[in-house]
A = this chain, B = another copy of it.
Amino acid sequence: MSQSLPTPRDTEAKLQHILLHSARIFAEDGFEGTSIRDISRATGISLSGLYYYFDSKQRLLYLIQNNTFSFIVTRLQERLEDCDTPVARLRCLVQNHIEYFLTHPNEMKVLSHEETALDEPFRQGIAAIKRKYLALARKIFDGVVAESPNQGLNARVAVLSLFGMMNWVYQWHRPASDPGAEELADTIVSIFLYGVAAAPRQGKNLSEHVPAAVHYD
């Protein structure tokens, strides 16, 4: 009996399995240092089995990066539906981002370290979804600033500084002793909104702005 093609459900689960383990291997050994054969070993899927999902290491790296940004953006858009103030929307952005990357450190490392490893046309594809995410963040930021007295800030620098606070977390976060996603999101939002010298409110108040935390599986 010939082997039947995987059902759509199996295909998606298997793809997620491949992306998860490939991200781990790329994070550990680097994109350059990893072969398709290494991916096959790490995922337990044969070379021809892998070929069903991607035809090159470039496409695999693209799939990891695209899958990550798509998930983050989609989840953020869902969460924003329950946020009705500018500050609540900002907190959604930060908590969504930090929750994802605290639970996906390998993907974080692959995104930041292998950004230049991607060739065209894949690079443009990722640049497009990153632009979409950044535009969403900028819109949230503009909403906050529209209500504030501090309109002289360079918005691009401010938004990217916020991403800096969030994206650097993977470099220093120790799960055993450092705060979890929710407290981290509170602290970062508090600093970003009010600074360390002027902050009129603490994390607890910020938490009131958002619906109950949604946790990733």
Interface, chain A (partner B; CB < 8 A): 29-30, 32-33, 87, 112-113, 115, 141, 144-145, 147-150, 152-154, 156-158, 160-161, 163-169, 171-172, 178-179, 183-184, 187-188, 190-200, 202
Q: How far is the CB of A203 from chain B (nearest CB, A)?
A: 8
Instruction: Collect the chain B residues with CB atoms within 8 Å of residue A198's CB.
Output: 148-150, 193-195, 198-200
Instruction: Collect the chain B residues with CB atoms within 8 Å of residue A178's CB.
Output: 156-157
Q: How far is the CB of A117 from chain B (nearest CB, A)?
A: 9
Would B152 and A202 count as touching, CB distance under 8 A? yes
A147 to B190, CA, bound (A): 18
Would A196 and B154 count as touching, CB distance under 8 A? no
List 13 interface pairs A-B (beta carbons < 8 Å), by A numbering: A32-B32, A112-B112, A150-B198, A154-B187, A157-B178, A157-B188, A158-B187, A160-B172, A161-B187, A165-B165, A168-B168, A195-B195, A198-B198
State whether A150 and B197 are in contact (beta carbons under 8 Å apart), knowing that A156-B178, A165-B161, A168-B167 are contacts in the complex.
yes
Residue in B closest to A202 when the chains form the complex, CB atoms: B152
Instruction: Collect the chain B residues with CB atoms within 8 Å of residue A171's CB.
Output: 112, 115, 164, 167
Residue in B closest to A115 when the chains form the complex, CB atoms: B171
Residue in B closest to A201 when the chains form the complex, CB atoms: B150
A108 to B200, CA, bound (A): 35
Selected contact of A30 from candidates B30, B154, B191, CB within 8 Å? B30
Residue in B closest to A148 when the chains form the complex, CB atoms: B197
Instruction: Collect the chain B residues with CB atoms within 8 Å of residue A164's CB.
Output: 164-169, 171
A197 to B169, CA, bound (A): 23
A188 to B162, CA, bound (A): 10
Instruction: Collect the chain B residues with CB atoms within 8 Å of residue A32's CB.
Output: 29-30, 32-33
Can you name 16 extra interface pairs (CB under 8 A) apart from A144-B197, A160-B168? A30-B33, A32-B33, A113-B113, A141-B196, A150-B195, A153-B190, A153-B191, A153-B196, A157-B178, A158-B187, A161-B187, A161-B191, A164-B164, A168-B168, A190-B195, A198-B199
